[in-house]
Amino acid sequence: VKKALLRARLTVNDIDLIELNEAFASQSIACIHDLDVDSDKVNVNGGGIAIGHPLGCSGVRISTTLLYEMKRRNAKYGLATLCVGVGQGAAVVYENVV
């Protein structure tokens, strides 16, 4: 996440909405705490536990959910994260230009 924000020349405070890959609630809580973000802008429609955590396409589900919500709220920046296993992860920053 920190590398993605750095590459986008943004801070976590610039991000309007965040979709965390939520395979386990404790993992999401730890990420929210580590990033020091307002939990009201994280997984606003529910996370993987509520919406679904489809094996092999979690990234698509997370990105699609985030992009639709960004459009609905006219949010400028969104952050999607994905835990990959064995301590790995990926993050992407989206900008709404419409």
pLDDT band per the 50, 70, 90 thresholds, residue 63: very high
pLDDT band of 85, cuts 50, 70, 90: confident
Region 80-96 average pLDDT: 88
Strands (E), 14-87: 17-19, 77-85
Fold for the domain defined by 2-95: Peroxisomal Thiolase; Chain A, domain 1 (3.40.47)
Q: Give the model's confidence band at 51: pLDDT under 50 very low, under 70 low, under 90 confident, else very high.
A: confident
Global pTM reads: 0.91
- Give residue 5's identity as a one-letter amino acid code: L
**Other Cβ atoms closer than 10 A to 4:** 15
Q: How far apart are CA 80 and CA 64, in angstroms?
A: 10
H/E stretch holding 90: strand 88-95
